[in-house]
Amino acid sequence: MDNATTSTVQKDKTKAKKRYLKAKKDRRKKRKGGSAHAQAQTRTGGEHKENEDVSSDEEEEDSQPDVVANPVYANHDVAEPAEPKRPKKRRRVEPEVVDTPIDDDEQEKPPKDALDHETALNLARKSPTPPTALPSFPLPSRPDAPSKSTLALQGLDKALIEAELVDPLRTIPLEGDADAVSLISDKTRRRLKDLGISTMFAVQTAVIPFLLGDSTQRSLYLPYNPPRDICVSAPTGSGKTLAYVVPMTEILSARVVIRLRALVVLPTRDLVAQVRETFEAVAKGRGLKIGTATGQHSFAHEQAQLIADKSPGLYNLLLSLEACLTCCLTFRKVIDEADRLIAQSFQDWLAQVLAATRPSMASDGTAHLVDAKSTYTGVHYPDALAPAFLHQLYGTPHIHTDLDEKKEPSCQKLLFSATLTRDPAKIASLNLRDPKYFVVQGQANETSSKEEEIMDLVMEKFSMPTTLIEHMIVCESSQKPLMLLHLLHAHGVRNALVFTKSAESTSRLVRLLEFFESIRDTTGDKDKDLGIVVRAYSSDLGARDRRTILEKFKSQEIHILVCSDLISRGIDISHVSHVVSYDAPLDMRKYVHRVGRTARAGRTGDAWTLVEEQEARYFKSMMKDADHLGAVKRMRISEKDLAPLMPSYEGALDKLKDVYSRSNS
Ligand SMILES: Nc1ncnc2c1ncn2[C@@H]1O[C@H](COP(=O)(O)OP(=O)(O)OP(=O)(O)O)[C@@H](O)[C@H]1O
């Protein structure tokens, strides 16, 4: 830019600036003329403040000559950069002005505060006195954080939260008049007494009155008010079997017509036999017919045995169910060892059984109903709109309503387990109706709340029999047989179950123990109570052999039963004093059921777990997760303890090697 151009621009700038300042001064004069008086009335110092602002405006404008000198602004005679300052000034003078939005063309309008003097005065009088200070906000307060258990309980099934907790030490004498026993008929009470039962155990005191208590629970023929289902969690050996056998016997023996009225589903054949025995003992002389279906005979044979009355539901049931079951006489269904059975998807048995207990629905949404001639017809479900009135209408053709339907009983489900599943999906698969939970659980400590107890169940911290003493022995893998021999001999054990991880290791261990015993016999170093009789009990054996062996063990002809987990659930042999986990269980449920074969019905019992060194960390963490590590004490066995057994043991090992090398060659 040359000098001449520069001076012309500067001149223009100066002119524009002058014009702008003059226009601004005029505006200010006008404003002052209209509002000065009102300002003087409302507050002092406003004028001074305003002056300050103005001067600051001016300073600002001076400090921005480029903007002010911009020809665009100069042509419009408007000082745009100064505009945003206006609301600030007005807020202090007139609240009404402050609230007014500023238009783009405000410069053309007469300013609001340029009202005549009288109006301004009136406005000032009406204006509320401005507050001296803004009201202070309440300080933010933080509510107490919810407790850990409250958080953990969130989202849980309501039925679980409302569970009834039962003290495991509660017992009620059979002769008393408490609800738990007064609802049981004299006949059944006499029978129980004959069986040596004089008190009701904790789980029985809770479940029996619930099932026998009111007519709703007893009757399944109340389609609009069916009984509630129940889920029972109680420790091993706490008497869950009688908790359902007694009420079922009471309810079913009142029925005159014999037909399949209840179904008990169990996971193994041995358990089917055991539960059948309990039913037969309790229901003796009551006319109850008890059938079993264990898949041992042909389907037709088992079907013929079970059914006199051929209802469609039964066909479905037998067709589908190859898992073992005990069927006794309408659909009151008991699932014992519920968690295992639910987890087992064998032949989709659960869906099949559930379907068999409901009227079947055709794919078009019609229900197959039975008409008077016992033929099956696909009829649309009536809408059930006051059907009683339809029949009273004179001359109306017959309309099929739900009054014409065959009255189907509802199905009540009773679930029992020492390790009841908390898996919501699995529980949901059972279609439970308004389930009532009973939890028999030892209190962790006296101060533990109901929430904490429920949490224990939810977190699978299963309750153990209070009479159980637990130990673990950490050792090298190769030393396990020797450790077992030491335990058996040093403690004079005669009634024990020894659990291994497979049928194969069961038979190998039995061989070794047998060789050991025979060598001890011949070397003459046996002490007088020796002569341990050991047998294997695993899936390698046929059903008949297993039954014989079990009988011999019960009669103590066999001292030690080396077994796979086949026998770990439900089997009730009262004299089992020791349970040895020769191979440590890999999950807590398995541990609970194994050790639960001893310390039953209030008796004492010992559980020993041999833990290989490399497994020790896992085993301990499993116990810790179940909040049970403190209950399992460590037992140490020294080399010195083992030394006397060594000669016989080495001889037994040699014999075993011989046998296996011969069978492999
Ligand atoms: N009220 C009672 N009085 C005396 N003994 C009882 C009583 N109730 C049950 N028993 C006995 O207690 C033992 C254990 O009962 P049961 O087999 O029903 O236990 P459980 O809770 O089903 O155990 P598990 O979970 O291991 O199957 C059985 O021998 C049974 O006869």
| pLDDT tens digits, 563-575 | 988 888 888 999 9
pLDDT value for 628: 92
Rounded CA separation 349/346 (Å): 6
CB of 238 shorter than 6 A to ligand 1: yes
Same fold, 159-357+409-440 and 468-664: yes
Q: What integer pLDDT is reported at residue 19 of this predicted model?
A: 85
Ligand 1 centroid–CA 563 distance in Å is: 22
Q: Indicate whether 282 pLDDT > 90.
A: yes
Q: Is the Cβ–Cβ distance between 270 and 256 less than 8 Å?
A: no
User: What distance in Å separates the CA atoms of residue 563 and residue 510, rounded to the nearest whole number?
Assistant: 9
pLDDT at 150: 66
User: Does ligand 1 lie within 6 Å of residue 570's CB atom?
Assistant: yes
Taking residues 492-496, report their average pLDDT. 93
Domain boundary assignment for the chain: 159-357+409-440, 468-664
**Cα dihedral angle (562, 563, 569, 574), rounded to 10 degrees?**
-30
The protein residue with its alpha carbon nearest to ligand 1, atom 3, reads 197
The pLDDT score that the predictor gives to residue 270 is 85
Helical segments of 447-502, H only? 450-458, 480-490
Give yes or no for residue 374 having a pLDDT over 50.
Answer: no
Q: 440: helix, coil or strand?
A: strand
Percent of the chain with pLDDT over 90: 32
Q: What is the CATH number of domain 159-357+409-440?
A: 3.40.50.300
Least confidently predicted of 80-84, 159-163, 228-232, 410-414:
80-84
Q: Give yes or no for a contact between 124 and 38, defined as CB atoms under 8 angstroms apart.
A: yes
Would you say residue 4 has pLDDT above 60?
no
pLDDT at 309 over 60: no
Cα-to-centroid distance, 239 and ligand 1 (Å): 3
What is the pLDDT, as a whole number, of residue 336? Answer: 64
Interatomic CA distance for residues 635 and 651, integer angstroms: 27
Instruction: Check residue 499 and report its DSSP letter.
Output: E
Query: From residue 59, how far is each of 56, 63, 388, 467 by CA, in Å?
Result: 5, 6, 95, 94
Enter the tokens of residue 145: 């954080």
- Under the banding of pLDDT at 50, 70 and 90, the label for residue 88 is very low
- Give the Cα separation of 111 and 97 in Å (integer): 9
Q: Which amino acid is residue 452, in one-letter code?
A: E
Identify whether the C-beta of residue 282 lies closer than 8 Å to the C-beta of residue 195. yes
474 Cβ closer than 6 Å to some ligand 1 atom:
no
Contacts of 285 (CB under 8 A, 6+ apart): 187, 191
CA of 238 to the centre of ligand 1 (A): 5
What pLDDT score does 135 carry?
Answer: 73
**199: Cβ below 6 Å to ligand 1?**
yes
What distance in Å separates the CA atoms of residue 407 and residue 223, rounded to the nearest whole number? Answer: 8
> One-letter amino acid identity for 397?
P
Give distance in angstroms: CA of 227 to centre of ligand 1.
Answer: 26
Question: Could you tell me the distance, in angstroms and rounded to a whole number, from the CA of residue 162 to the centre of ligand 1?
Answer: 26
CA 581 to ligand 1 centroid distance, Å: 22
Alpha-carbon distance 340 to 345, whole Å? 10
* Number of continuous H segments (helices) and E segments (strands) in the chain: 29, 19
222, 251, 255, 436 from 214: Cα distances, Å: 13, 12, 17, 15
pLDDT value at residue 392: 61
- Best mean pLDDT range from 61-75, 143-157, 337-351: 143-157
Mutate to test the pocket of ligand 1, among 572, 592, 594, 597 (most ligand atoms within 8 A of CB): 572
Mean pLDDT, the chain, rounded, equals: 74
**Rounded CA separation 410/357 (Å):** 8
Cα separation, 208 vs 658, whole angstroms: 58
Residue 56 or residue 91, greater confidence: 91
Q: pLDDT-derived band of residue 459, with 50, 70 and 90 as boundaries?
A: confident
The verdict on domain 468-664 having CATH code 3.30.43.10 is no
Report the nearest-CA residue for atom 15 of ligand 1.
Answer: 239
The pLDDT score that the predictor gives to residue 646 is 93
**pLDDT value for 361:** 42
Confidence of residue 2 (pLDDT cuts 50, 70, 90): very low
Tens of pLDDT along 14-68?
Answer: 777 888 888 888 888 877 665 544 444 444 343 334 333 433 343 333 334 333 3
Structure-derived torsion over alpha carbons of residues 584, 585, 590, 592, reported in degrees to the nearest 10:
40
Question: Cα 103 vs. chain centroid, distance in angstroms?
Answer: 65
